[in-house]
């Protein structure tokens, strides 16, 4: 007989922070977080120095899933161009979900406005890693200016994510042609 371990207070707080901040924003109160996690404030502060640290840990905890949901595997045999397009196909697929509210890492940075906030630093690192992926693929694919192309691609990623997240647009027929145009102009193969 196997028994499934129940998530502990830390895991419940991380999950509640991820869910509530994505849905309601980083301004969510400690009381609401603790209530959703079924954890006392005292326990929360024993586990995390502050709400800011909880938010940062929650973003960091979700980073692996974010990457796995977007990037092709390292053993993938696609061309650099196809690997970049894969990321945007994944974004479009995620954006079609009814509960899609945009990129949680971009949203956190926008809402916090403070680059020194612990959660903002985590979000900045995660987005920086995505930009680095674009740059590495652009370089492998022979782009004339890999740095510029990476910056353009993250701009498209964030812009598409934000516009779809606020329900101002739909991704169908918009993201892939835009990215393909950038890749072509950069000389990507």
Quick check: is 67 in a domain? yes
Q: Residue 3 — pLDDT band, cuts 50, 70, 90?
A: very low
Domain hosting residue 140, numbered range: 51-185
Quick check: is 5 in a domain? no
Close Cβ partners of 46 (under 8 Å, ≥ 6 residues apart): none
pLDDT in tens, 84-95: 999 999 999 999
Quick check: is 35 in a domain? no
Distance from the first to the final alpha carbon of the chain? 54
pLDDT in tens, 18-73: 999 999 999 999 999 999 999 999 999 999 999 999 999 999 999 999 999 999 99
Q: Element (H or E) spanning 135, and its range?
A: helix 118-140
- What is this structure's pTM? 0.90
Spatial separation of the C-alpha atoms in residues 131 and 5, rounded to whole Å: 37
CATH code for the domain of 175:
1.10.357.10
Q: Residue 6 — pLDDT band, cuts 50, 70, 90?
A: low
Quick check: is 87 in a domain? yes
How many angstroms separate the Cα of 98 from the Cα of each of 7, 80, 91, 114, 173?
27, 30, 13, 30, 18
86 closest CA partner among 107, 106, 72: 72
Do 186 and 138 touch, CB atoms closer than 8 A?
yes
Cα dihedral value 168, 100, 58, 119, nearest 10 = -10
Quick check: is 43 in a domain? no
Quick check: is 12 in a domain? no
pLDDT in tens, 110-143: 999 999 999 999 999 999 999 999 999 999 999 9
- What is the tally of structural domains in the chain? 1
Quick check: is 16 in a domain? no
């Amino acid at each position: 007989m196997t028994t499934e371990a129940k998530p502990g207070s830390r895991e419940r707080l991380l999950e509640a922070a991820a869910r509530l901040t994505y849905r309601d924003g980083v301004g969510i109160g400690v009381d609401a977080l603790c209530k959703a996690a079924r954890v006392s404030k005292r326990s929360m502060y024993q586990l995390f120095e502050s709400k800011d640290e909880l938010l940062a840990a929650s973003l960091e905890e979700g980073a692996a899933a974010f990457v796995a949901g977007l990037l092709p595997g390292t053993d993938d045999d696609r061309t650099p161009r196809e690997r970049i397009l894969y990321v945007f196909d994944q974004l479009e697929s995620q954006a079609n979900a009814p509960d899609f509210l945009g990129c949680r890492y971009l949203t956190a940075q926008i809402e916090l406005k403070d680059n020194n906030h612990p959660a903002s630093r985590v979000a900045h690192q995660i987005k920086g890693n995505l930009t680095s992926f674009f740059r590495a693929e652009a370089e492998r694919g022979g782009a004339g200016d890999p740095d510029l192309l990476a910056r353009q691609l993250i701009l498209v990623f964030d812009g598409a994510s934000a516009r779809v997240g606020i329900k101002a647009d739909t991704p169908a027929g918009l993201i892939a042609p835009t990215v393909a145009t950038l890749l072509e102009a950069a000389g990507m193969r």
